[in-house]
Amino acid sequence: MSATPSQRPGRITIARHGQPDANRETRLDWRGYEDWWDNIYQPASLAAGQSAPDKLKAAAAEAHIVYASTLTRAVETAEAAAPGRELEIDPVFIEAELPPPAMPGRYMAKTWGVFARCSWWFGFARGRESRHEAEARAAMAAARLVEAAQDGDVVLCAHGWFNRMMRPHIRSAGWRCVSDGGDSYWSFRQYEYRAR
């Protein structure tokens, strides 16, 4: 028996946070980048003068739960998307780590981010959360969204790479992307359940 529309799970909307107040063009060595990641980027608020897109606000207005990671940039994004709403703030949705490789030279922080993500992907974690651990967390995070969507629409404001890591788990649970906004700041993807 197929589900009636009223029995279908809600829509899942997964957004990337707005632009953080952190200079990604500052030039650093690898130790400086590690310090920048821990003490500037990770705790950063959103840069001034931003507002949530109207379509993200509309999705949040229809959601029965609005999630955010515990990082300030994600919380402030969710607050802008769903003003006055009580948020579900959960560390399961934080960004995957970016430990830099111990390479010589000084590069922009955004360049170190590329180096760090590549080396992390191939197993370099420097005692931080590994790719394997983050993939397990992404599966758990996706399952949390899928479970919440059984009762209606859900919005998550989180992080670019970790959002990407959740995608295959959401798809494998039967959701299909019906709106792909890309990976820039404030972008979001929306998923709807498609019964097999």
User: Cα 103 from chain centroid?
Assistant: 28
- When pLDDT is cut at 50, 70 and 90, the band that residue 184 belongs to is very high
Predicted pLDDT at 128: 95
**Residues 114, 96 contacting (CB under 8 angstroms):** no
- DSSP assigned state of 187: -
Predicted pLDDT at 1: 33
Percent above pLDDT 70 for the chain: 96
Q: Tens digits of per-residue pLDDT, 99-152?
A: 999 999 999 999 999 999 999 999 999 999 999 999 999 999 999 999 999 999
Predicted pLDDT at 195: 75
Pick the CATH number of 5-193 from 3.20.20.140, 3.40.1500.10, 3.40.50.2000, 3.40.50.1240: 3.40.50.1240
Rounded Cα–Cα distance for residues 157 and 178 (Å): 18
Structure tokens at 127: 């005692």
Mean pLDDT, residues 4-33: 91
The structural domains of the chain, with segments of one domain joined by +, span: 5-193
Percent above pLDDT 90 for the chain: 94
The dihedral through the CA atoms of 91, 173, 11, 1 has a sign that is: negative
Q: Tens digits of per-residue pLDDT, 142-175?
A: 999 999 999 999 999 999 999 999 999 999 999 9
Q: Which residue spans within 65-163 are E strands per DSSP?
A: 65-68, 88-89, 107-108, 154-158
